């Protein structure tokens, strides 16, 4: 059964979804925009030159993560980049646990001293 958020979004966008589906093949609704947590600890530095804004990211649920029961790992081309921030991952974790279609992309890449400011991720529900 879809989460309450997904049911609400589906009802809200039903008319729009019907008309856009024919044009775009799918409807994606932005549900979260977050920095990448853990950038400096994983492959982000070494892959920096290869990544581009708009690149698709893979969301991987880590229910057995000992530090965060709602952990959602972010991967780019099979390489671990980091995680959705702990304070913002509960809804996405619940959607993934419920089998909802959720995807993500790189929204912004910027050279910044603060690793939390280097990559912005957008998460979408796919209807």
- pLDDT, position 21: 47
CB atoms near residue 49 (< 10 Å): 7
CB atoms near residue 27 (< 10 Å): 20
Q: In what order do the strands lie in the sheet with 79-83?
A: 28-35, 119-126, 102-109, 56-61, 72-76, 79-83
Residue 62's beta-bridge partner residues?
none
Structure tokens at 126: 């796919």
Residue-range domains of the chain with CATH: 4-126 (3.30.70.2330)
pLDDT in tens, 28-78: 888 889 998 887 776 667 666 888 999 999 999 999 999 999 999 999 999
Q: What is the DSSP letter of 54?
A: T
- pLDDT, position 12: 54
- pLDDT, position 34: 92
């Amino acid at each position: 059964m879809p989460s309450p958020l997904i049911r609400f979004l589906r009802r809200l966008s039903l008319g729009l979804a019907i008309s856009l589906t024919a044009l775009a093949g799918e409807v994606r609704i932005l549900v979260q925009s977050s920095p990448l947590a853990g950038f400096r600890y994983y492959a982000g530095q070494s892959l920096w030159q290869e990544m581009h804004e708009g690149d698709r990211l893979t969301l991987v649920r880590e229910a057995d993560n000992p530090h965060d029961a709602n952990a959602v790992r972010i991967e780019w081309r099979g390489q671990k980049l980091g995680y959705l921030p702990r304070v913002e991952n509960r809804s996405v974790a619940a959607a993934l646990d419920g089998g909802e279609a959720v995807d993500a992309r790189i929204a912004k890449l910027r050279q910044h001293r603060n690793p939390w400011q280097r990559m912005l991720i957008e998460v979408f529900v796919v209807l």
